[in-house]
């Protein structure tokens, strides 16, 4: 699949650098996102310390969850037939047990 870019910014310095000039809606040096991790630019998603939304809890664990939300919604943006929620590990175990019976 052709994409323009996938950018992973990892580090300890909270600095948007050149991204701050891309036309993203910013709030105090962070990128504003929706609950789906969507930015104001179509097809651009963000997660982790770089994002802000109401009720944001700034923890590493929260960033991992945001990344999963962003990726799932980006996949759905690219392919609207794709499920946003691909499943839950507990459900997979239940399905496996049902198949074995």
What are the angstrom distances between the C-alpha of 101 and each of 64, 91, 92, 97, 98? Answer: 35, 16, 15, 7, 5
Domain count, the chain: 1
In a domain? residue 57: yes
Residue pLDDT tens, the chain, 101 long: 677 777 776 666 667 888 899 999 999 889 999 999 999 999 999 999 899 999 999 888 898 899 999 999 999 999 999 888 766 666 665 555 555 55
Q: Which domain holds residue 87?
A: 17-100
CA 98, distance to chain mean position in Å, is: 32
pLDDT at 101: 56
- Give CA angle at 66 (61, 68), nearest 5°: 100
CATH code, domain carrying 83: 3.50.50.60
Handedness of CA 65, 70, 72, 73 (dihedral sign): positive
């Amino acid at each position: 699949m052709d994409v323009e870019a996938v950018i992973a910014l990892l580090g300890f310095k909270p600095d948007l650098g050149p991204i701050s000039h891309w036309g993203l809606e910013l709030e105090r040096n962070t990128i504003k996102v929706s609950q789906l991790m969507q930015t104001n630019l179509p097809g651009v998603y963000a997660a982790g310390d770089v994002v802000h939304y109401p009720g944001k809890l700034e923890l590493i664990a929260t960033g991992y969850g945001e990344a999963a939300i962003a990726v799932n919604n980006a996949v759905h943006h690219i392919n609207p037939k794709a499920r946003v929620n691909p499943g839950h590990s507990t459900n997979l175990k239940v399905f496996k047990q049902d198949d074995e019976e």
